[in-house]
Amino acid sequence: MTTSMNPSSRPQSASAAPDTCLSLENVSISYGNGKNVAVNNVFMEIPKGKVTAFIGPSGCGKSTVLRALNRMNDLIEGCGLTGRVLFDGQDLYDKRVDPVEVRRRIGMVFQKPNPFPKSIYENIAFGARINGFQGDMDELVETSLRKAALWDEAKDKLKESGFSLSGGQQQRLCIARTIAVEPEVILMDEPCSALDPISTLKIEETMHELKKTFTIVIVTHNMQQATRVSDLTGFFNVTNMPDYEGKVGCLEEFGETERIFNSPAQQATQDYVSGRFG
């Protein structure tokens, strides 16, 4: 983790290889053993230490792409991927790669808060313990909860069940749980879609803290959220593909958030970010 976290202070240039964390090369993903193409020909370079947001209408494959980044799609039967996903220069879909190892270094927070049916303390200790954590567990739990901005609310009830927390707190617990494993990247799949505005705000504040240490990729339906938290934005859209029935997702445009929202190159992006469709 320490070696891969070289803090780069120089200005971000899209093609600067050393700063690239995840790079997608011509990625296409399909379900049902290739019958339904979900997303087609995605090229993307996700830089280190930044927040990258995926936006786009429903069914455009942004969650599918996100799940491809730590091989969560392996759990879906009949899901296939072509192209290459490079993480620090290594192909994640190489035959020799262990998906469990991938997920330890690229953590994930899900749409619905899903704390384990254990105490708050154990929820966080679980991931660290199975990853062979040797140090002071109390300290790790505290720092993880602090980073997820949950410490003040949870410090007096660490022994209570994770379900005793509110929805927004549960989601922050899930973030703390992910942080405790000390991944390099955190993927978030619509982490605030089940939460109220105040919890959403807290999670966004958490993200601002987290991007100092982690690379974050977030899928969101909320464009204001994308403008608030992200440095880069990828706009996914659905299109018709030649010689294929039905709609297919594709990456329409990818660039700095400010540019995507203020002066997008594509008409479709302009229409979407100005709320004309989607």
Partner 1 sequence: MYWPNGLSVVSAFVTLEPDMTTSSFSASNQRLGDAAKSSLHRRPNLPRNRWNALFTLLAALFAAIVVLPLVLVLVYVVIKGGSMMSLKMLTELPPAPGMTGGGIGNAILGTLVVSLVAALIAIPVGVGGGIYLAEYSKSGAFASFVRFGTNVLSGVPSIICGVFIYGLIVATRIFFDQSYSAMAGGMALSVLMLPTIIKTTDEGLKLVPQELRWGAIGVGASKFVTITSITLPTAMKPIATGIVLSIARASGETAPLIFTALFSPFWPEGLFSPIASMSVLIYNFAIMPYDVQIALAWATSFVLVMMILVMNIFARYLGSLNRN
Binding site for partner 1 (CB under 8 A): 70, 72, 75, 77, 100-101, 103-105, 107-110, 112, 114-117, 126-127, 130-131, 161, 174, 177-178, 180-181, 183
**Minimum Å distance from CB 31 to partner 1?**
15
**Minimum Å distance from CB 227 to partner 1?**
27
Q: The tokens of 22 are what?
A: 């995840």
**Minimum Å distance from CB 246 to partner 1?**
25
**Minimum Å distance from CB 54 to partner 1?**
17
Nearer to partner 1, 108 or 260 (CB): 108
Nearer to partner 1, 128 or 238 (CB): 128
Cβ atoms of 220 and 54 within 8 Å: the answer is: yes
**Minimum Å distance from CB 110 to partner 1?**
6
Nearer to partner 1, 84 or 103 (CB): 103
Q: The tokens of 150 are what?
A: 């949950």
Nearer to partner 1, 12 or 161 (CB): 161
Distance CA 215, CA 108 (A): 12
Q: What are phi and psi of 127, to 5 degrees?
A: -60, -45
Nearer to partner 1, 168 or 264 (CB): 168
